[in-house]
Structure 1
C-alpha cells in the first residue's frame, strides 16, 4: 500500500475553490468545509477513523451544484462519547446551524446515531454507511486501548492502516485507498489516539426517536473493514430504513463510487 504522492486533479480543483475553515469552540479545534447555499439545513459528513474533512470533497463539489449545503468535518480531539455529543452541539451552535442531515461512515456513522439519540430535535435524517451500533467488539479487540493516548504516532498509524484492505483492487478503489492513506499520514498523534479511543470505548446506541423512514443505510457488498455481522445489526435495528446497497466500493465508496453515493444522498433529502 502506498500513500498518494500526487493529488487527483479534481481534488486540486476543489482545494482551489472551497476554503478550509478552522474555528475554536471552547477547547476544541474544528476543521471543516462549508459549501453551498446557507438557507437550507446542511448535510454534514462525518468520516471514520481514517478520514478527514477532505475525503468528502466529491460530495461537496457535486451536491453544492445541485443546491445543497454540504459541511464536511474533521473529528477533533474528543475522548469519550458524552464529550462528542456536547462538543458537536456547540460546534453547530457556533456556525449557527440548528437542524441537520447527517451522513456518517464507519465511526462517523456511529457518532451520528449517538447524536441523533441524544439530540433528536436537531437531526432531520441519517445516512449510515458501513457502520455499527456498538463498540464492544472493537473494545475487546483492542485491549491496549487504555494506553493508546501514550502510544507513538507510527504505531497508531500502522494499526489504523492495517484495517484498510491492501488490494488487489479495481483501479477506482485503489485510488480511494491511496487518497485516504495520504490523509492518515497527515493526522497528528492526538487525532489518531482520540479516534481510536472513541472507537474502543464500550458504548451502544440506544433507541432513536427518528422514524426509520428518515434513515438510509448505504453499505458496500464487497470488502469492508466493518464485520458483516455488525452491519447486519444496523439493518435489523432500523427495519423500515431505506436500503442503498452498492455492489462494490470498498471502505470508501464516497471516493470510489461518488456518482452512486451522491444520487443516494440526494434521494434521502427529498
Structure 2
C-alpha cells in the first residue's frame, strides 16, 4: 500500500505527486486544472485508495508548449514504472489528458474528462497579452487566475471548495502560473483519438463553470458514445464540493473499463490483525500524515 508525497527531478523537470493504493492495481492519474495543485484531489485519494484502487495525483512541471508536456509526462510515467494509465483530467488537465491520448495512444487505457475543452483558441482570444505571459509579474498572474474563479454567493460546500483552491493559488510560483497560462492559450486542438468512446466518461457540472458551456458541449459532441456523468451542482471544483458523487462516478468508470479494486491488498498491508473498520481508520490516519499541507494557505 503506497502512501507518500514524492518529488522526481527528470532532466530539468520537477514532478511533485501523491501515490496511494495497491501498486498491483493500474493507477488512476489525476491531472489538475490551471488553478489547482495535486493536493486538490485529496478526497479522491483517501476514498478510492481505502477501497483498494491506486490513485496518483500530480503537479504539472514548468513546460511551455504541449509537445513538451507530452514528452515530460511520458518520461514521468517511465520514471515511476507505470506504462498504461487511466487519466482523470479537470479543465486544463482534461485537455492535456486528451492530447496525451492522441499522441501516445498505446499508453492511455481510458479517460475521465471534467469541465474540459478541445481547443485553446477562445482562451487565447480572451488573453491578448498572452505573448508576454512569461515576463508578467506574479501578482498580476495570480490576479488573472483568481478572476476566473467565480466569486460568491455560493452554497457552503462550493464556497469551501473555492476557498481551498484560492489557498492553493497562493502557493504557486510565478513560473507555475506562467507555465499553466501558456498551456491554456498556446495554439492547439484535440484531434482524432484511437480510444473508443466507450472508454471515456464525461463528468460535468450543470450549474456554472469557468469553462464556457459551448466548449463543454464540443467535448460531448466529439465523443457521442462516452458515458455521461452529469452533476447537478458543484461549480468549478466538484472533486472538492461533491466528492461522494465524483468518487462514485470514478469507481463506475474504472469498473466499466475493467479495473477492479483490491481491498484485500489494502488490509493486507496492515499487519495488526484489527477489524476492517479499524484498518480503514489506520489507513486514513496514514494518509493524513502525508497530506498536512492541504489545508495550509502559505507553504
Correspondence 1:39 to 2:24: yes
Q: Which SS does the other structure have where 1:121 is aligned? A: coil
Residue equivalent to 1:24: 9
Aligned structure 1 segments of 4 or more residues deviating by more than 6 angstroms: none
Alignment gaps of 5+ in structure 2: 256-299
For residue 133 of structure 1, what is the aligned residue in structure 2? Answer: 118
Unpaired segments of 5 or more residues in structure 1?
1-16
1:142 equivalent in structure 2: 127
- Give the one of 205, 210, 222 matched to 1:237: 222
- Structure 2 length as normaliser, TM-score? 0.84
Q: CA deviation at 1:143?
A: 1.1
Give the aligned partner of residue 178 of structure 1. 163
Q: Tell me the SS of whatever aligns to 2:132.
A: helix
Partner Cα distance (2:174, 2:136) in 1: 8
User: How far apart, CA to CA, are the structure 2 residues paired with 1:86 and 1:40?
Assistant: 24
* Preserved CA contact (<8 Å) 2:3 2:21: no
- Partners in 1 of 2:86 and 2:36 — Cα distance? 19
**CA distance in structure 1 between the partners assigned to 2:3 and 2:64 by the alignment:** 29
Distance in 1 separating the partners of 2:224 and 2:125: 28
**Are 1:89 and 2:61 an aligned pair?**
no
Instruction: Please list the CA deviations of residues 188-210 of structure 1 after superposition, one character each: whole Å capped at 9, or x if unmatched.
Output: 00000000000001100000000
Match of 1:161 among 140, 146, 159: 146
- Give the alignment's TM-score, normalised by structure 1: 0.93
The 3-state SS of whatever aligns with 1:120 is: coil
RMSD: 0.8
> Which residue number in structure 1 is paired with residue 42 of structure 2?
57
Q: CA deviation at 1:26?
A: 1.1
Q: Which residue of 178, 195, 206 corresponds with 1:210? A: 195
For residues 153 and 238 of structure 1, what CA distance do their matches in structure 2 show? 37
Cα drift, residue 20 of structure 1: 1.5
Cross-structure match for 2:212: 227
The SS at the match of 1:110 is: helix
Q: Name the residue aligned to 1:101.
A: 86
